[in-house]
Amino acid sequence: MIPEEDAERYSEIERQLARLYRSVSPQPGFAQRLEHRLEGQARRMGMNPKRRFHLWSETLRGAAKWVWAAAGIALLAAVIVFAMSLLPQPPSALIRVIATQQTTQAPTSTQTAAPTFTQPVEMGGTQPTPTPTPYPVYVLAKQNTVKLYAAPGTDYAVVGTLSPGEKLLMNGKVTEKGWVPVAYPPGSGKTAWVWIETVITLDAGDAQNGVPAPADWVRASNPRLDEGKLLIDVCFNLLDNGDWMIREAILRANQGNEPVEIGYDAATLISLRPFTTDSEGVHHGERCDVLEFPVGADFALENATLVVGSLEAFPREGQDCELYLTSVQPLLTARDTGILISCESQPHSGGLINVIAKPQGMPLDQAQALVHQAFLDSITLKGPWKFELGSLIPEDSSLPSLESQQSILAALRELNRRRSLTYFQGPGWLHMLTREMYKESGGTLPDGTPLPAEYRMDFWYELDAQGKGLRWVVRQLDMAGKELQIAITQYGLTRNLTFQETRVQEVFYLQPLDFGFSDLALSATKTNKKMTQQPLYFEGQYVGEQFIIEDDEVRWESVFDPQTGRQISFSTWEVIPEGLRFVSSVVIEAFENLPSPPAEILAYFERK
């Protein structure tokens, strides 16, 4: 259903699409059917205020990395994909040959910096004798809210409660009768007591402390192969309301006759995140991630083992000081460091840490290192949790492929293969002309002229004998054919001739050149988005194969010619209670190979 206030706009778009398809396809346009199937990735990404050029390229995984476009889906889908694959690790960097099966740390994602230290005030006292390093142990309610008592026993006063989703720091030894001391209220220096049968304890440090996390706290399932990668779903319970994620994970396998450990690339992490959040912002349920490990044909995976080393949750914005005072200071005290800290909240930063006391003679950098280590320990939940790959596969079954589980993804990749064989065979030129429409205009040209909400994009790519891009010209044109923006790429540089800007062009991967739709489909298989494929007809005539990806907020759609693999359109709708709201639509008017471009196109390469 289309909102009434937008009906006139949608009707005009229908007419435009119908005209376009009649002019470019032997089957008259499918505008009306197309209009009601559009989707959008434009929802959470900021639009470029000037709608600069971002030339299309692809990552090694076949995903769009930069897209030349104004605002809207053509740019936004690419920006999202770019963020996902900004700094992917080469597979060789993640594989370590080991002499014996011993744990090594996998690459971890980059996190925000800890709060800034200020110059400490050195206090009296001597540097303490090293003692065994205690790690924090957290206490959580098993299911229902439990009572906290002033002393070990139900005859004493109730001083508070512990609700599911909350945690308290254990600050002493459990009594012989099973009463657990906890720091309550947090940071007050006081102690409350809770009955051990009503809670579980989780060791937030090394398992050497003797209280390892429950074995079922982390779970693994659904291993499958996809284009040289092993994908495994990993789910874990939420310790508290922090933004918990997997910090360390490795895959132990054999490469030929050599045992190896393979780290996962944090840049490829896909989060399913099926947990719910209540009205007070408290998380309930679990979080699930898809881990990717690069594996080759010479890897023996039958006896491989997945090891999840630890989970971590950096403090949310504005919560740094609370964490330092309620968790870090008790750890520093328990470790006999002789260090006292305070924290001052600071705008636009995590906080300002003051070391207000430290042993005489302790260097500043050593004190800061001890504080920082206590910080890391307080946000880390250590395993390890180990999973034999064979136990995750049904008996008498082999490791499945992602495409065998996802027939729609397999069909889309077959179209990509056909498009590659049809259009990406150099040397020569590939020409693509698109007509793009967006919900609203945005951005201005250098002279202050606003950019229109509807325009054409004219792409010219020179291909080498292997079908790789050598240089290219991209033009933005208004509907009358007037040039709005021009960008060229050659000699490793991209120049926007309109804005007089130059940047280094990264490695350019032209294929599959489908506005990032293939990457959206791959992501959908990992995040349980709905995907459908169906033949599209208009006025009784077959137009092409229509692919739809959707969730509760956005709907993406693309149509392809099943013979050549050519993309016909890519469109976006926002899902609203009334139905669908238009975001953007791209119609590919021309997609062709030519021996050379017009002289006016070649002339752009000579412009200064």
Domains and CATH numbers, the chain: 4-86+406-606 (2.50.20.10)
Q: For 253-318, give the DSSP string.
A: EEETTEEEEEE--GGG-EE----EE-TTS-EESEEEEEEEEE--TTEEEEEEEEEEEEEE-PPPTT
In this predicted structure, the answer to whether residue 63 has a pLDDT above a threshold of 60 is no
Q: Which of 58-62, 190-194, 510-514 has the lowest mean pLDDT?
A: 58-62
Distance (Å, whole) CA 439 – CA 582: 6
CA 390 to chain centre: 28
Distance (Å, whole) CA 188 – CA 486: 63
* pLDDT (tens digit per residue) in 192-218: 999 888 887 766 543 333 344 566 789
Q: Which of 3-17, 60-74, 122-136, 500-514 has the lowest mean pLDDT?
A: 60-74
* pLDDT (tens digit per residue) in 88-107: 445 555 555 554 333 333 33
Of residues 297 and 576, more confidently modeled: 576
Query: Exposure pattern of 248-266 as b/e (b: 16+ CB <10 Å)?
Result: bbbbbbeeeeebbbbbbbb
Q: What residues pair up with 184 in beta bridges, in sequence order?
A: none
Q: What residues pair up with 571 in beta bridges, in sequence order?
A: 557, 585
What is residue 588's predicted lDDT score, i.e. its pLDDT?
95
Residue 588: closest CA among 605, 572, 604, 570: 570
* pLDDT (tens digit per residue) in 523-571: 888 777 899 999 999 888 999 999 999 988 899 999 999 999 999 999 9
Tally Cβ neighbours within 10 Å of residue 464.
11
C-alpha distances in Å from residue 154, one per residue of 150, 157, 194: 9, 8, 9
* pLDDT (tens digit per residue) in 424-452: 988 999 999 999 999 887 788 898 889 99
| Contact yes or no for 346/207 (Cβ under 8 A) | no
Q: What residues pair up with 537 in beta bridges, in sequence order?
A: 542
In this predicted structure, the answer to whether residue 184 has a pLDDT above a threshold of 60 is yes
In this predicted structure, the answer to whether residue 317 has a pLDDT above a threshold of 80 is no
Non-local CB neighbours of 531 within 8 Å, separated by 6+ positions: 406, 408, 409, 521, 524, 525, 547, 548, 549
Distance (Å, whole) CA 71 – CA 454: 11
- What does the pLDDT average to over 399-423? 93
Distance (Å, whole) CA 548 – CA 541: 20
What is residue 97's predicted lDDT score, i.e. its pLDDT?
55
Q: What residues pair up with 401 in beta bridges, in sequence order?
A: 225
| Contact yes or no for 31/58 (Cβ under 8 A) | no
- What does the pLDDT average to over 2-6? 47
| Contact yes or no for 120/358 (Cβ under 8 A) | yes
Rounded to the nearest integer, the mean pLDDT of the chain is: 74
Q: What residues pair up with 300 in beta bridges, in sequence order?
A: 254
In this predicted structure, the answer to whether residue 288 has a pLDDT above a threshold of 70 is yes
pTM: 0.63
| Contact yes or no for 588/569 (Cβ under 8 A) | yes
Which amino acid is it at 7?
Answer: A
